[in-house]
């Protein structure tokens, strides 16, 4: 089906019809699957109440502004926010890279082919990395630069800001995983992912608009209740008891998991979602640390048991607040360092990005914050635990979390571990390592499931990862052969769980997923039986 | 004669304007606050064994304790040199465009860039020749001009055609982008015409000597046009996004490749402390008005504060 090409100024179209409706037959083909789900249309009730006028999908169950005054307020708030984004002091955290990225793009489109969302969608224009950047650039030029005001059309400053533009731009900022693969290939060093993030930030910090899962039930709940899951310290303590039961049940070992142990060498903080969705993951950490004789602890302090920092995707103020609480927990316990469990964005937020909002004694040099992966590799290397790779005698592939790998350069430790604890050679995805594709759940998508957003994630942003997984297991697709996708990141696991379900990968091809530590414990020679739970056994 | 005086003054003025504006821009960018870390791997200044696969120092346990203060020499050799090599390789080969661009612009883009490099080299060579009167340089200058202009013209024209005829590129190409390419093409066409009328470049050399000695001399219209267009381009460049080759340094060195972690009491730490003293001017309900970043970061429930 050929359709009219979308022009930039169409973003301001005053209709409720989607600018770029999606249909399943336009998406990137997945030849290895015999049964690819159709896209279901949005419910009529949603169309009456909400704005799905970008592509027919949305995570925002926020009623659209109805009166001219409300619309005007939205537009004014957006333009004021944009002005603040451009101001070096107001937006000190990112203004430099943001402005340079707006000013110096050569419009060569080299970045497009790097984007799994664009490719997965079958190259739909609105998902091109430069599309949303170009819209914002044209608005910025038209409203904020002398050249744009004087000779706007000649420099392409032709996008009008009305309430539809504002809303579609909000939606567009949530069609990018902020995986930054596009930035990696740009010859000029432009970062379209940062532009997407800054648009999100404008909405959050100026207008208080962000997906419910990220702001109200995310960072707000995290700061106020102690965890974005809503788990309070008492519930956390119950979870720890539950972990101890799992450990005893699965391994026969009685382990007392240390909680709030003052002066421990390591404060391990997990994504609290693990306690609820994948308790065998924190339990595996406990088994490994116990067996390796590590002096470690968990914390039951507010935020001390939930390392997520969703704000890294959309809000610098909340980012600083959460990071500060994390290091404060470590200070109060007097631990030597924080180790981040298998949670990719938390790695990047706490170890890297927040470094420059935490001054003095909270600097990373004084209060170290590290990834769990090098430590786990050290445990393997040390010989403290005996591993029997034949216990992991099934095909495995490794999904690289963008945050840990492309954005932190932690590439080899996890590969060394897999080589040490699995008997079959690691099936690398193509591409992999720092050039990997995002799972499709990055930047919050993994947990966003209001309205029909999760369908978009499964169908579009996770599509490339599904293809990579199918390709990696191309010669063993028989569903009788169990296959394991390693994802050492909670949000990647959440996305894979949903994608496996959506594409029926377990039934059709015997493909399952899990963390890295589960695989390690599964290979521990001194334990009685298998630790990994495959789908059919759950 | 007035025109010939103008051609001399314009030459000097254009160089002065170029450097003044470029330096102003660079200073302005450099004086912006220290942003948060936002690197992306691979990073060329990582240890040699890790560079290849994009690894970092964070692959080690206890990396925050392994910080070493580097000497100036180590900074140059281990940091700046690998970065310069990486940026230089991109400038010369445009390998990222070759590897990832599907619109067939790599060859034209590379030719255009080489045309510009060779043209600038030619202009520099002409200056040296005027000062030294070297016969060898005089002999080389003609062929160099032809190659620069031919290569650059093919590149510029090819890019104009590619951009205009490839819908995915055309949508993103504003009139200003065509103007930039046409401007460059005009310099190259003019250069070729001036050479055709004067293959020994006697007029070009005479103009360059005149400009260097402030002694106006009459040269042909084609020679004059070539130089005037070129100087106009030199003036225009720092005002446009064509300065991207300078800006690249900031985007890479202070952005995509800035992996420096902060140590207590360091210059970066002091700067962060200063910046945390800025007032937060954002207005969403979860942000309290009038607080500094440091105060704001210590708040859990600013909604309560607002009442
Ligand atoms: S972001 Fe970079 S790669 Fe993409 S169009 Fe702009 S300059 Fe080209
Ligand atoms: S950051 Fe990732 S998802 Fe976003 S535009 Fe770039 S490549 Fe696409």
Evaluate whether residue B273 is within a structural domain: no
Q: Is the peptide bond before B77 cis (omega within 30 degrees of 0)?
A: no
Q: What is the pLDDT of residues B218-228, one digit of tens each?
A: 999 999 999 99
Does the beta-carbon distance from B255 to A97 stay under 8 Å?
yes
Binding site membership of A115 for ligand 1 (Cβ less than 6 Å): no
Q: How confident is the model at residue A536 (pLDDT cuts 50, 70, 90)?
A: low
The encoded tokens of residue A158 equal 């032709």
Evaluate whether residue B288 is within a structural domain: no
Inform me whether the C-beta atom of residue B26 falls under 8 Å from chain A C-beta atoms: no
Does the beta-carbon distance from A111 to B38 stay under 8 Å?
no
Are A390 and A347 in contact by the 8 Å Cβ rule? The answer is no
**Nearest protein Cα to ligand 2, atom 5:** A129
Nearest by CB to residue B251, choosing from A100, A130, A370, is A100
| Cα radius of gyration rounded to whole Å, chain A | 23
Report the run of H or E that residue A370 belongs to, with start and end. Answer: strand A369-371
* pLDDT by position in tens, chain B (length 307): 788 899 999 999 999 999 999 999 999 999 999 999 999 999 999 998 999 999 999 999 999 988 677 788 888 888 889 999 999 999 999 999 999 999 999 999 999 999 999 999 999 999 999 999 999 999 999 999 999 999 999 999 999 999 999 999 999 999 999 999 999 999 999 999 999 999 999 999 999 999 999 999 999 999 999 999 999 999 999 999 988 888 988 899 999 999 999 999 999 999 999 999 999 999 999 999 899 999 999 998 776 544 3
Distance of CA B301 to the CA centre of its chain: 45
Q: List C-alpha distances in Å: B71 to B76, B77, B86.
A: 9, 10, 22
Average pLDDT over residues A42-48: 93
Report the run of H or E that residue A297 belongs to, with start and end. Answer: strand A296-297
Distance of CA A181 to the CA centre of its chain: 13
Evaluate whether residue B234 is within a structural domain: yes
Maximum separation of any 2 CA atoms in chain A, in Å: 76
Inform me whether the C-beta atom of residue A293 falls under 8 Å from chain B C-beta atoms: no
Contacts of A105 in chain B (CB under 8 A): 241
In DSSP terms, which residues pair with A371 in a beta bridge?
Answer: A340
User: Which chain A residue has the Cα nearest residue B293?
Assistant: A317
Does the beta-carbon distance from B293 to A107 stay under 8 Å?
no
Distance A127 CA to ligand 2 centre (A): 9
B42 CA: distance to closest CA in chain A (Å): 7
Q: Give the CATH number of the domain where residue B229 resides.
A: 1.20.950
- From A131, A191, A196, A407, give the residue whose CB has the most ligand 2 atoms within 8 Å, as the site to mutate: A196
Inform me whether the C-beta atom of residue B304 falls under 8 Å from chain A C-beta atoms: no
Binding site membership of A151 for ligand 1 (Cβ less than 6 Å): no
Q: What is the pLDDT of residues A306-348, one digit of tens each?
A: 999 999 999 999 999 999 999 999 999 999 999 999 999 999 9
In DSSP terms, which residues pair with A268 in a beta bridge?
Answer: A339
Length of chain A: 538
- The total domain count for chain B is 1
Evaluate whether residue B160 is within a structural domain: yes
Q: How confident is the model at residue A15 (pLDDT cuts 50, 70, 90)?
A: very high
Starting from the edge strand earliest in sequence, which strands make up the sheet with A296-297, in order? A296-297, A266-269, A337-340, A369-371
Closest listed residue to residue A279, CA positions, set A244, A248, A309, A233: A244
Nearest by CB to residue B101, choosing from A93, A109, A156, is A109
Binding site membership of A159 for ligand 1 (Cβ less than 6 Å): no
Evaluate whether residue B75 is within a structural domain: yes
Measured CA to CA, the distance from residue A184 to residue A193 in angstroms comes to 11
Closest listed residue to residue A121, CA positions, set A173, A175, A170, A164: A175
DSSP notation for B206-246 = HHHHHHHHT------HHHHHHHHHHHHHHHHGGGSGGGHHH
Evaluate whether residue B143 is within a structural domain: yes
A477 CA: distance to closest CA in chain B (Å): 29
- Quickly list H helices, A428-489: 453-456, 463-472
Q: What is the pLDDT of residues A471-484, one digit of tens each?
A: 999 999 999 999 99
Place of tokens 């690998």: B82
Does the beta-carbon distance from A370 to B293 stay under 8 Å?
no
Q: Could you count the other beta carbons within 10 Å of the beta carbon of residue A383?
A: 9
Which ligand 1 atom minimizes the distance to the CA of A133? 1
Evaluate whether residue B154 is within a structural domain: yes
Opening angle at CA A129, ends A124 and A132, nearest 5: 90
Q: Enumerate residues 6+ apart whose C-beta is below 8 A from A345.
A: A308, A309, A310, A312, A313, A403, A442, A443, A489, A491
What ipTM was reported for this prediction? 0.96
pTM of the model: 0.97
Are B296 and B288 in contact by the 8 Å Cβ rule? The answer is yes
Q: How confident is the model at residue A537 (pLDDT cuts 50, 70, 90)?
A: low
A510: pLDDT strictly greater than 50: yes
CB pairs under 8 A between A and B: 280
Closest listed residue to residue A317, CA positions, set A469, A51, A94: A94
Inform me whether the C-beta atom of residue B135 falls under 8 Å from chain A C-beta atoms: no
User: Which chain A residue has the Cα nearest residue B89?
Assistant: A187
Residue A90 phi, psi (nearest 5): -60, -40
Ligand nearest to the CA of A193: 2
Distance A129 CA to ligand 1 centre (A): 9
Q: Is the peptide bond before A431 cis (omega within 30 degrees of 0)?
A: yes
Residue B78 phi, psi (nearest 5): -90, -25
User: Which chain B residue has the Cα nearest residue A402?
Assistant: B40
Contacts of A360 in chain B (CB under 8 A): 264-265, 269, 273
Inform me whether the C-beta atom of residue B52 falls under 8 Å from chain A C-beta atoms: no
pLDDT above 70 covers what percent of chain B? Answer: 97
Place of tokens 């029926």: A504
Q: What is the mean pLDDT of chain A?
A: 96
Ligand nearest to the CA of B168: 1
Evaluate whether residue B94 is within a structural domain: yes
In DSSP terms, which residues pair with A269 in a beta bridge?
Answer: A340
pLDDT above 90 covers what percent of chain A? Answer: 94
Average pLDDT over residues A127-134: 98
Inform me whether the C-beta atom of residue B19 falls under 8 Å from chain A C-beta atoms: no
Q: How confident is the model at residue A1 (pLDDT cuts 50, 70, 90)?
A: very low
Q: Enumerate residues 6+ apart whose C-beta is below 8 A from B299.
A: A321, B288, B291, B305
**What domain range includes position B238?**
2-256
Inform me whether the C-beta atom of residue B292 falls under 8 Å from chain A C-beta atoms: no
Q: What is the pLDDT of residues A172-219, one digit of tens each?
A: 999 999 999 999 999 999 999 999 999 999 999 999 999 999 999 999
Inform me whether the C-beta atom of residue A415 falls under 8 Å from chain B C-beta atoms: no
């Amino acid at each position: 089906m050929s359709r009219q090409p979308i022009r930039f100024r169409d973003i301001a179209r005053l209709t409720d019809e989607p600018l770029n409706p999606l249909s399943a037959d336009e998406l990137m083909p997945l030849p290895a699957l015999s049964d690819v789900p159709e896209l279901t249309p949005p419910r009529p009730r949603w169309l009456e109440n909400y704005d799905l006028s970008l592509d027919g999908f949305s995570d925002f169950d926020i009623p659209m502004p109805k009166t001219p005054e409300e619309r005007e307020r939205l537009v004014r708030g957006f333009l004021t926010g944009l002005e603040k984004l451009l101001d070096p002091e107001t937006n000190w955290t990112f203004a430099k890279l943001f402005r340079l990225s707006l000013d110096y793009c050569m419009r060569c489109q080299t970045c497009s082919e790097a984007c799994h969302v664009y490719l997965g969608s079958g190259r739909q224009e609105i998902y091109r990395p430069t599309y949303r950047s170009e819209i914002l650039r044209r608005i910025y030029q038209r409203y904020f630069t002398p050249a744009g005001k004087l000779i706007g059309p000649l420099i392409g400053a032709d996008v009008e800001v009305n309430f539809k533009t504002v809303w579609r731009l909000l939606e567009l900022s949530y069609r990018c995983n902020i995986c930054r693969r596009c930035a990696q290939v740009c010859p000029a060093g432009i970062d379209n992912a940062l532009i997407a993030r800054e648009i999100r930030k404008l909405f959050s910090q100026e207008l208080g608009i962000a997906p419910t899962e990220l702001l109200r039930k995310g960072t707000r709940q995290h700061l106020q209740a102690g965890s974005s899951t809503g788990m309070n310290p008492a519930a956390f303590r119950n979870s720890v008891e539950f972990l101890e039961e799992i450990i005893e049940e699965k391994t026969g070992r009685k382990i007392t998991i240390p909680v709030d142990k003052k002066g421990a060498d390591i404060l391990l903080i997990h994504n609290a979602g693990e306690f609820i969705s994948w308790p065998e993951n924190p339990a595996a950490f406990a088994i490994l640390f116990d067996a390796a004789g590590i002096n470690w602890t968990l914390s039951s302090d507010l935020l001390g048991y939930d390392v997520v920092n969703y704000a890294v995707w959309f809000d610098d103020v909340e980012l600083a607040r959460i990071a500060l609480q994390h290091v404060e927990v470590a200070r109060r316990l007097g631990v030597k360092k924080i180790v981040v469990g298998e949670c990719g964005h938390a790695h990047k937020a706490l170890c890297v990005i927040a470094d420059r909002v935490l001054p003095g004694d909270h600097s990373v040099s004084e209060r170290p914050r590290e990834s769990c992966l090098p430590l786990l590799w050290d445990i393997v290397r040390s010989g403290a635990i005996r591993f029997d790779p034949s216990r992991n005698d099934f095909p495995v592939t490794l999904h690289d979390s963008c945050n840990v790998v492309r954005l932190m350069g932690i590439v080899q430790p996890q590969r060394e571990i897999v080589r040490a604890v699995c008997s079959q050679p690691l099936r690398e995805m193509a591409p992999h390592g720092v050039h990997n594709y995002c799972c499709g759940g990055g930047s919050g998508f993994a947990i966003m499931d209001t309205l029909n957003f999760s369908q978009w994630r499964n169908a579009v942003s996770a599509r490339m990862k599904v293809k990579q997984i199918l390709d990696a297991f191309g010669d063993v697709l028989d569903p009788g052969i169990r296959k394991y996708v390693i994802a050492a990141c909670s949000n990647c696991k959440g996305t894979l769980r949903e994608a496996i379900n959506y594409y029926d990968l377990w039934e059709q091809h015997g493909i399952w997923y899990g963390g890295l530590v589960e695989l390690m414990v599964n290979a521990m020679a001194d334990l009685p039986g298998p630790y990994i739970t495959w789908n059919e056994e759950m | 004669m007035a025109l010939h005086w103008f051609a001399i003054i314009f030459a000097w003025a254009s160089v002065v304007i170029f450097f003044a504006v470029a330096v102003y821009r660079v200073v302005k960018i450099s004086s912006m606050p220290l942003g948060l870390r936002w690197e992306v791997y691979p990073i060329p200044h990582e240890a040699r064994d890790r560079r290849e696969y994009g690894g970092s120092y964070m692959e080690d346990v206890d990396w925050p304790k392994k910080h070493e203060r580097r000497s100036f020499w180590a900074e140059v050799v281990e940091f700046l040199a690998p970065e310069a090599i990486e940026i230089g390789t991109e400038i010369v080969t445009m390998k990222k465009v070759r590897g990832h661009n599907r619109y067939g612009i790599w060859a034209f883009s590379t030719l255009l860039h080489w045309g510009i490099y060779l043209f600038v080299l030619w202009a520099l060579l002409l200056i040296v020749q005027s000062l030294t009167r070297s016969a060898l340089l005089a002999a080389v200058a003609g062929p160099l001009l032809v190659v620069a202009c031919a290569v650059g013209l093919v590149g510029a024209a090819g890019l104009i055609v590619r951009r205009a005829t490839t819908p995915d590129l055309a949508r993103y190409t504003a009139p200003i982008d065509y103007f930039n390419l046409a401007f460059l093409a005009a310099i190259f066409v003019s250069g070729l015409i001036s050479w055709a009328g004067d293959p020994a470049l006697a007029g070009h050399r005479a103009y360059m000597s005149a400009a260097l000695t402030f002694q106006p001399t009459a040269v042909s219209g084609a020679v004059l046009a070539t130089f005037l267009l070129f100087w106009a381009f030199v003036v225009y460049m720092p005002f446009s996004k064509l300065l991207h080759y300078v800006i690249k340094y900031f985007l890479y060195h202070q952005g995509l490749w800035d992996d420096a972690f902060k140590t207590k009491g360091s210059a970066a730490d002091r700067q962060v402390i200063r910046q945390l003293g800025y007032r937060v001017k954002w207005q969403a309900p979860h942000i309290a008005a009038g607080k500094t970043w440091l105060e704001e970061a210590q708040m859990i429930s600013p909604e309560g504060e607002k009442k």
